[in-house]
Structure 1
Amino acid sequence: MNAPLNPEQLRSFTPLNVLSEQQWRELRRQLVPQPLLAGQLLFRHGEQTGLTYYLLAGELLLQTADGQQQRLLAGSAASCHPLSPSLLRLHEVRAATDASLLAVDTATLDRLLTWRLAYQDLLLELGQKHADVEWLERLLQNPLFAKVPPSNVSSMLERLQRIELAAGTTLLREGESGACCYFLESGRAEVIRGAGSEQQVLAELEVGACFGEEALLADRPRNATVTLLEEGVVLRLARQDFFSLLKAPVVAEVSLGEAARLLAAGSQWLDVRLQEEYERGHASESLHMPLQLLRLKARLLDRARTYLCYCDSGKRSASAVFLLAQLGYTAYVLRDGLDVLPAVQRDALLCESGSGYLARSGGRTERSG
């Protein structure tokens, strides 16, 4: 297999040339030249694919639906732009000579470009102040920031308190109250629940991770212990700043009526209550993922699907939506939870009892009992 191309080899391609070094690293596995033999068809007119193509070497023949033809030569000004980039291809493209192409996932590229263009002014401003722009880019790659306006991010950065910590430091302790959340600027941290033989490692946090937010969203004690595995730096964000700058734009709420419309369009209920609560009564075909296990089980969900989270008060489901946003899922919270629903609506919603439904690998849904 050919070696991946480096950024310098791709600087002439638009709009790839606006991506950052961090974003190039994310695309690295896709930056591999693909051969196309003379006479071989790349795609037909009207075809829809999820790839964006660039010509690296050789010559292509492009033909429109009415038979008009043009040749595209690698290295020309026209070859610096994507091939027939519309959703439905406007050309049939075939190799006139042996050629080499770059194929990049269109959805990934769109996400990176949208992020880059939204935050480029902020990154430029911080770079002029000699701030650690690379760390900020890693932080902002967290999918939850796709929903946070740049002005909120700027305000958040001004309010963060930087704390240096030694390896082995326990920053959060299970059962304690929470008045803030944190971002990991450097080092590694471990998330653990329970003690002794009941101890369970939930996750190892990477640079840019947000943690400690669940206690704020649920207004409950910390549900896990976070310890630094090596020397590191964290940034502390106070409760009120978290709510106004991050929660408000990230945790979207829906009414029961709005949820019904989303369900009709293919969304699914996600019950984040305890097992006993779920078994007593749950929404029709709702998946069950208790909040305390969601970080572990979320990988089983379908990224192409929208999830509607519910619990009694709405606080646990708000935590679930915030966590799912960080993991790149689309989710909404049932506004104010089940407790505010009239008895008739609540009984109609929680119409099933028993062990219910579980998510399996690949987003499949199975009856658990």
Structure 2
Amino acid sequence: MSDPLNPEQLRSLTPLNMLSEQQWRELRSQLVPQPVLAGQLLFRQGDQARLTYYLLAGELSLQAPDGQRESVLAGSAASCHPLSPSLPRRHEARALTDASVLTLDSATLNRLLTWRLTYQDLILELGHQDEDVEWLERLLDNPLFAKVPPSNVRSMLGRLQRLELPAGSTVLREGEVGDCCYFLYSGRAEVIRGAGSAHQVLAELEVGACFGEEALLADSPRNATVTLLEDGVVLRLARQDFFALLKAPVVDEVSLGEAARLLASGAQWLDVRLQEEYQRAHALESLNMPLQLLRLKARLLDKGRTYLCYCDSGKRSTNAVFLLAQLGFTAYVLRDGVDGLPAVQREGLLCESGSGYLARSGGRVERSR
């Protein structure tokens, strides 16, 4: 199989050239040229598959319903645009020579384009004000901001407190009360859990990263320490502003009745409690992925599926939904958790011996009893 297209090749294709490099990375698995043999049909007139096609090499024929034919040659101006983009297709496309095409999921592409256009004016405006917008572009590349209105982002930018700190500075410390979250504007930072010889490096943060929000969402002490590895700048957002501007539009709550309708459409319960809690009682066919392991095990989840997160009080599941939004998943939180349900509903949701799934180490998911 061919290698994915490089940025120079992507910049020649409209409207792919409007996407950021981070968005291209999100599309990476689809950015692989596919061979088409001479005489092979690419799509028929009337086809309604939600796919976007580009011609990368060779020559294609586009035939209209009235029989008129148009030849498209790779490298021409026409090949820089999608082939017969309207649905249902207005043309039949057939390869005149051996060719190579790029096929993309139209829904994903449209989502990325909509996001980019939504924030483009804001980025240009700040650039005209001689603001350094690189950190903001990297921040907005986070799928989380696909759900945050531009007006909220503008308000957030006006409420951020800028802190210039030397290398070695501790921005937040494990065990402290969380009263704000931060964004990394410049420099590099390290996330550490534990102290002394028992400490564990969890991650290295890049420019644009948001950190410290977990303590706010769970209303609990900081669960890690963040230290600057080099001189840098962090931007502080107060607790009340975080809840009003970021959490509110991102974390969608559902009632048990609304959850039932989503389950009927293919959604799945995601239990973010500890395994011991899960094994005592859990929702049927639910997947157990404890909150503290969610970031590591999220690769086991399906981005094409909707997840309904629950815990006892709703705090851990709220944290989970916020995290999943940053990773590009669609997720909802059960309002007020299982403890907020009437006894009859709680007993109907949770069972002691119903089957479910456990996320194991090594990238495995196995059935539970």
TM-score scaled by length of structure 1: 0.87
Query: How far apart are 1:289 and its partner, in Å?
Result: 1.8
Report the 3-state secondary structure (helix = DSSP H, G, I; strand = E; otherwise coil) of the residue aligned with 2:309: strand
The alignment status of 1:73 with 2:67, answered yes or no, reads: no
- 1:310 maps to which residue? 310
- 1:123 maps to which residue? 123
Of residues 24-33 and 131-140 in structure 1, the stretch that sits farther from structure 2 once superposed is 24-33
- 2:139 maps to which residue? 139
Equivalences for residues 318-357 of structure 1 within 5 A: 318-353=318-353, 357=357
Structure 2 residue identity aligned to 1:154:
R
Structure 2 residue identity aligned to 1:277:
E
Of residues 40-49 and 1-10 in structure 1, the stretch that sits farther from structure 2 once superposed is 1-10
Of residues 141-150 and 340-349 in structure 1, the stretch that sits farther from structure 2 once superposed is 340-349
Q: Deviations over 1:157-215 (max 9, x none)?
A: 11111222333322221111010001122232222223356533333222222111011
Query: How far apart are 1:148 and its partner, in Å?
Result: 0.1
Unaligned runs of 5+ in 2: none
- 1:193 maps to which residue? 193
Equivalences for residues 185-334 of structure 1 within 5 A: 185-196=185-196, 198-334=198-334
Cα distance in 1 for residues equivalent to 2:187 and 2:98: 48
Structure 1 residue identity aligned to 2:72:
L
Q: Deviations over 1:271-306 (max 9, x none)?
A: 122333222221112221222222222222121111
Equivalences for residues 138-157 of structure 1 within 5 A: 138-157=138-157
Report the 3-state secondary structure (helix = DSSP H, G, I; strand = E; otherwise coil) of the residue aligned with 1:273: coil
Of residues 343-352 and 137-146 in structure 1, the stretch that sits farther from structure 2 once superposed is 343-352
Contact 2:10 2:17 in 1 (8 A): no
Of residues 83-92 and 168-177 in structure 1, the stretch that sits farther from structure 2 once superposed is 83-92
Equivalences for residues 47-86 of structure 1 within 5 A: 51-56=51-56, 58-64=58-64, 66=65, 68-74=67-73, 78-86=78-86
Cα distance in 1 for residues equivalent to 2:198 and 2:3: 48
Contact 2:61 2:72 in 1 (8 A): no
Cα distance in 2 for residues equivalent to 1:36 and 1:328: 32
Cα distance in 2 for residues equivalent to 1:296 and 1:187: 24
Q: Deviations over 1:120-147 (max 9, x none)?
A: 1111211111112222111101010000
- 1:110 maps to which residue? 110
Report the 3-state secondary structure (helix = DSSP H, G, I; strand = E; otherwise coil) of the residue aligned with 2:53: strand
Flag the 1:105–1:229 CA change in 2: closer, same or farther, 3 A.
farther
Structure 2 residue identity aligned to 1:130:
D
Query: How far apart are 1:88 and its partner, in Å?
Result: 5.4
Flag the 1:250–1:53 CA change in 2: closer, same or farther, 3 A.
same
Cα distance in 1 for residues equivalent to 2:355 and 2:193: 24
Of residues 49-58 and 328-337 in structure 1, the stretch that sits farther from structure 2 once superposed is 49-58
Contact 1:301 1:362 in 2 (8 A): no
Q: Deviations over 1:54-113 (max 9, x none)?
A: 23555321235x572422333666444311224654433112245454444534432321
TM-score scaled by length of structure 2: 0.87
The alignment status of 1:167 with 2:173, answered yes or no, reads: no
Identity rate of aligned residues, in percent? 79
Cα distance in 1 for residues equivalent to 2:4 and 2:280: 56
Contact 1:161 1:237 in 2 (8 A): yes
Q: Deviations over 1:342-363 (max 9, x none)?
A: 1111111111359952136999
Counting matched residue pairs gives 367
Structure 1 residue identity aligned to 2:71:
L
